[in-house]
Amino acid sequence: MGYFKALIIAAISLVAVTASAQNSGGNAAARTLKNPVPSTEASVTAGAAAYKKYCAFCHGADAKGNGPLAPKDSNPPSLTDATWTNGSTDGEIFTAIVNGTAPKSVMVGFKGKMPDQDIWHIVNFLRSLGPKTAGR
């Protein structure tokens, strides 16, 4: 019984450690992911359209955060600054969009909701707005 209890506690703390590792600045596997879509004008334009449809109501039309229909107190961050709490490379931004940042936040992933290519277009669009950061 005591052994079983210790096992459960060990399992729970492992989950906690894993979660906090992800919280502190990015995702090692995602960092190695290369953006397969060149950042052309056409890609940025396609990304802007997809952003407007799927993201603007939470992140704002100008991507500066706190869009008009964001759930109360969810505070979607600006996607135009150099702060990327989930990692700043194209691969990490892509992964945050695909997998979402739940349960930490209200943002659910967009996996299966649009083609990967469209998500890369969004990454290129967001990159076109903000300052250059690591990994680009």
Between 6 and 25, CB nearer to ligand HEC: 25
Is residue 86 involved in binding ligand HEC (CB under 6 A)? yes
Choose which of 85, 99, 128, 133 interacts with ligand HEC (CB under 6 A). Answer: 85
Q: Tell how far CA 16 is from the center of its chain.
A: 20
Q: State the greatest distance between any 2 C-alpha atoms of the chain, in Å, as a whole number.
A: 63
Is residue 129 involved in binding ligand HEC (CB under 6 A)? no
Q: Quote the radius of gyration of the chain (alpha carbons, Å).
A: 17
Instruction: Answer for the pair 93, 47: CB distance below 8 angstroms, yes or no.
Output: no
Least distance to ligand HEC from the beta carbon of 60, Å?
10
The C-alpha atoms of residue 104 and residue 79 are separated, in whole angstroms, by 17
Is residue 59 involved in binding ligand HEC (CB under 6 A)? yes
Is residue 98 involved in binding ligand HEC (CB under 6 A)? no
